[in-house]
Amino acid sequence: MVVFYGRTNEGVFYDCIGAIVESGINSTHSDLIVTSKYCVNHEDIKKTFVIPVGLYPPNSATESYKIHQILLPLKNNRKSHKNLAIVKLLTPIAFNSFTRPICLPQRNDTFDNFNDCYYLKFYAFPNEMYMTSVEMLILHKSYCNIIVGQTVLLDNIRLCAVQKSLIDTVDSEDPTSVEEGLPFICIKNHKQYLYAIRDWVKVYKPEKNLLPVVILTEISNIIDLIQHVNVSHDNITYLHGADIWNVD
């Protein structure tokens, strides 16, 4: 996992989280991050840097990574995941015991409440970033529509999930929590797969006696886009189905 952050004269400010995925470089490095498009505001992107979660907060000896390109699914493609972004770094991040990529599912892979799924939760403090996992249960789409409203789930790219227990209750009002871009991971055949990204920070609490519901966007429809980026090792000037922002 990585943190998107900005640095000013007043200090370091975290923005959101991104998931490292395997790239076409080799098996020891990656320059590809999947996150929410709201993490990469075009106006501030030149002031935004990336760092592995385990190295946050950065200091003078910490290597930060600059953003090279941002790829967004085209807005007029109704089947695409408009709220997700693929970030290509200027230099790749090396893997180690603390920094590892998450497997990508196949385009047609599905996960349901029979899979073990969890939601990674991050808390940022002045001198460290703390991570915990919350076991989640994927809700049936029809039930989700009743809870959050049909207008939220406009198509099949969004899902909603509820935590399995009251422990580590998801709470968007915690000032230390980092909400945007959080990964939703499911286990299948003993492997961990990045199934969805949190790009909808509102937490729904339908009734007092029910656990809060989290809205996420599946990444299945950007798998092809990621694979195209993987085979384009050099600077990408055109990619069918995507808007490309050159940053550095």
Q: List domains and CATH numbers for the chain.
A: 2-103+222-246 (2.40.10.10), 117-218 (2.40.10.10)
Predicted confidence at residue 166, as pLDDT, reads: 61
Predicted confidence at residue 162, as pLDDT, reads: 85
Q: CB of 122 within 8 A of CB of 17?
A: yes
Amino acid, single-letter form, for residue 38: Y
Higher-scoring residue by pLDDT: 179, 29: 29
Predicted confidence at residue 210, as pLDDT, reads: 62
In which band, very low, low, confident or very high, does the pLDDT at 197 lie, cut at 50, 70 and 90? very high
Does 169 have pLDDT greater than 60?
Answer: no
In which band, very low, low, confident or very high, does the pLDDT at 186 lie, cut at 50, 70 and 90? very high
Q: CB of 165 within 8 A of CB of 135?
A: yes
Q: CB of 196 within 8 A of CB of 186?
A: no
Predicted confidence at residue 245, as pLDDT, reads: 62
Does 172 have pLDDT greater than 80?
Answer: no
Mean pLDDT, rounded, for 9-29? 80
Label residue 103 left, alpha or beta by phi (over 0 means left) and psi (-120 to 50 means alpha): beta
Mean pLDDT, rounded, for 153-179? 66
> Which residues are registered as beta bridge partners of 18?
2
Predicted confidence at residue 150, as pLDDT, reads: 58
Predicted confidence at residue 110, as pLDDT, reads: 78
Higher-scoring residue by pLDDT: 196, 242: 196
Q: What is the pLDDT of residues 34-78, one digit of tens each?
A: 999 888 876 677 888 999 988 888 877 677 899 988 888 766 555
Q: How many Cβ atoms sit within 10 Å of the Cβ of residue 185?
A: 20
Q: Which of 17, 191, 207 is nearest to 103 (CA)?
A: 191
Higher-scoring residue by pLDDT: 114, 96: 96
Question: Rounded CA gap, 242 and 80, in Å?
Answer: 10
Q: Which residues of 135-146 are buried (b: 16+ CB within 10 A; e: fewer)?
A: ebebbeeeebee
Task: Using a pLDDT cut of 70, give the percent of the chain over it.
Answer: 75
Average pLDDT of the residues of the chain: 78
Structure tokens at 87: 């970030």
Question: Rounded CA gap, 17 and 121, in Å?
Answer: 10
In which band, very low, low, confident or very high, does the pLDDT at 89 lie, cut at 50, 70 and 90? very high
CA atoms within 13 A on the CB side of 84: 30
Q: Which of 163, 119, 157 is nearest to 141 (CA)?
A: 157
Predicted confidence at residue 183, as pLDDT, reads: 92
Q: Which of 53, 45, 121, 144 is nearest to 90 (CA)?
A: 45
Higher-scoring residue by pLDDT: 77, 101: 101
Sort 204 into a burial class: Cβ within 10 Å, 0-12 / 13-18 / 19+: middle
